[in-house]
Chain A
């Protein structure tokens, strides 16, 4: 039994070995194929690596050149920056000077504006003060003095706020002193210069009164109709209506 077993075993072993050997041959063949493939691959890789190296070298060269280029540019930029920095400093200095000048100018303008404003305010205060004195003289019966005061305002401050009122009161001074010709002339001047003025209503009324007293009825009616049309709710309008009825 043992030789059979041995022969079986040896047979099996031999089969196995043959099998293995066959297998190994096959394996080695495939291995060899693989190795060949790998070798070919390696070769390829070598070629590629060589190519890559070349490319890399080229790239490095490019990089180097680029770096050199950039360096040059950087240098140039640096120079430019330096010069710009200098220019900036220069400009800053100039700007400072300009700023100082601007400040000075601004201060000057502000002072001038303030002075102008003060001058204007002073002028307004002066005209108001002159007007107050003149109207006080008028109310106290000092017509001639009041007239001189109002005329002074109109002559010296023709563009002031009080010039308009002063012109009207010049008319009143004439009217109060029964100088009807002068009064008429002044009221007409007032109405021409200030058609929307604050004293239009009494000016039209007084004009009508002058015409009424002189029996210039057409002119009276014209003045008072204009009064009624322009100032329908005024006291003067009501008086004119009642006088025209008579």
Chain B
């Protein structure tokens, strides 16, 4: 018996989420199809998803219902890539539905769909189905430009991920990074999977330390005015950005807390680099550290109460944590001669950082209590500057593993290493919220 999951269809404005990524405003109709999920099947699906470390799923190519055929950015491939990247699926890619193969591979659920391409308008239906009864468990319809096909696919992958695991997926997230061309370093943005790279700064100067904030805003350090200053920009357009904190001193390594709605950064205003915080308009500045050492690279905890930072107050740069008012300073790392660029997992349980040991930089993780320090990257190459995905499932970092500086993603347990970029000079990544 067919039952609707949602009580009524609704029009979902896709433009608001797409526009922050400089895509034209597109009205996308997303409505529930007629999912036919009986109570018993729903329970079976939950058991199915909970049974496996990697949930077996088949992604079948979408046939065109009418019109032209898609030639690139095939959405079913994007969905399959997304699910595979998550590390929680064992994906079987099929050019068409094949029951024999499904049975042989013990596949219980499939992703199927169809599309219609007319001109540059794409309409697509995506369904999560029971592999054998072919009944639709979850269905969504998308409409937009052909160039939006990847976005639609990412959206559906997120919907499936959240449906199965009750947590948000990262497939619509973005990564800021620096393209290092020597004297000119540009802030760029890309989709989480390395696609859709675009420059966000246009000034021919050195730009460093990009950092996502809220509502399409980001901060970075620019030498536009001659000294390292903090600038503020929008993901909606490339440009010079606007000066945020510009002084004759050094301002560097910004980090934003969406919970506290404050920016932490390092400044040499006091004579040497100390940690400061201010609100998103630059007001209410507070100095948190007061000592002769270099205190830098602040990083907020996810709930905004603590700040991890690097200090050489004991002679070598080590990782410390303090609360957001500068009290309760405690040291976390005691091994390795040089630590840098801490990044606090959105799950709150781990801090990733760069550590120099035996002449090599690698990504390590440690608990906020300073316990269980563990090496994440083990391959050759210099691996630095970690940043967490919004659900804490992956870490992006830059590495010269392949001989050139590229961005890579890895899971905190060291598995699932994947190169994201192929630009030759990518550095300093920062992963966005969902």
Residues of A within 8 A of B (CB): 132, 135-136, 139-142, 172, 176, 201-202, 205-206, 209, 235-236, 238-239, 242
Report Cα–Cα, A242/B269, bound state, in Å.
14
Query: Is there an interface contact between A209 and B306, defined as CB atoms closer than 8 Å?
Result: no
Chain B residues near A140 (CB, 8 Å)?
302-303, 347-349, 368
| B168 CB to nearest chain A CB (Å) | 17
* Prevailing SS type, chain A contact patch: helix
Residue B433 interfacial (CB < 8 Å): no
Query: Is there an interface contact between A239 and B368, defined as CB atoms closer than 8 Å?
Result: no
Chain B residues near A209 (CB, 8 Å)?
325
Interface residues of B in 117-167 (CB under 8 A from A): none
Report Cα–Cα, A141/B369, bound state, in Å.
13
Query: Is there an interface contact between A239 and B325, defined as CB atoms closer than 8 Å?
Result: yes
Chain B residues near A132 (CB, 8 Å)?
369
Query: Is there an interface contact between B288 and A239, defined as CB atoms closer than 8 Å?
Result: yes
Residues of B within 8 A of A (CB): 287-291, 301-303, 305-306, 322-323, 325-329, 347-349, 367-369
B322 touches which one: A139, A201, A235 (CB < 8 A)? A235
Report Cα–Cα, A55/B301, bound state, in Å.
118
Query: Is there an interface contact between B287 and A139, defined as CB atoms closer than 8 Å?
Result: no
Query: Is there an interface contact between B349 and A235, defined as CB atoms closer than 8 Å?
Result: no
Query: Is there an interface contact between B290 and A239, defined as CB atoms closer than 8 Å?
Result: yes
A139 touches which one: B290, B327, B368 (CB < 8 A)? B368
Chain B residues near A238 (CB, 8 Å)?
290-291
Report Cα–Cα, A206/B327, bound state, in Å.
8
Which A-chain residue is minimally distant from B302 (CB atoms)? Answer: A141
Which B-chain residue is minimally distant from A169 (CB atoms)? Answer: B328
Query: Is there an interface contact between A139 and B348, defined as CB atoms closer than 8 Å?
Result: yes
| B370 CB to nearest chain A CB (Å) | 10
Chain A residues near B348 (CB, 8 Å)?
139-142
Report Cα–Cα, A176/B328, bound state, in Å.
13
Say whether, besides A132-B369, A136-B349, A235 and B290 are in contact (CB < 8 Å).
Answer: yes
Report Cα–Cα, A239/B349, bound state, in Å.
28
Report Cα–Cα, A184/B329, bound state, in Å.
21
Which 3 pairs from chain A and chain B are nearest by CB? A141-B303, A140-B348, A238-B290
Report Cα–Cα, A140/B328, bound state, in Å.
16
Query: Is there an interface contact between A176 and B325, defined as CB atoms closer than 8 Å?
Result: no
B328 touches which one: A142, A202, A242 (CB < 8 A)? A202
Which A-chain residue is minimally distant from B368 (CB atoms)? Answer: A139
| A72 CB to nearest chain B CB (Å) | 87
Query: Is there an interface contact between A235 and B326, defined as CB atoms closer than 8 Å?
Result: yes
Report Cα–Cα, A172/B289, bound state, in Å.
20
Say whether, besides A206-B327, A209-B325, A141 and B287 are in contact (CB < 8 Å).
Answer: no
Which A-chain residue is minimally distant from B290 (CB atoms)? Answer: A238
Query: Is there an interface contact between A141 and B305, defined as CB atoms closer than 8 Å?
Result: yes
| A90 CB to nearest chain B CB (Å) | 64
Chain B residues near A236 (CB, 8 Å)?
326-327
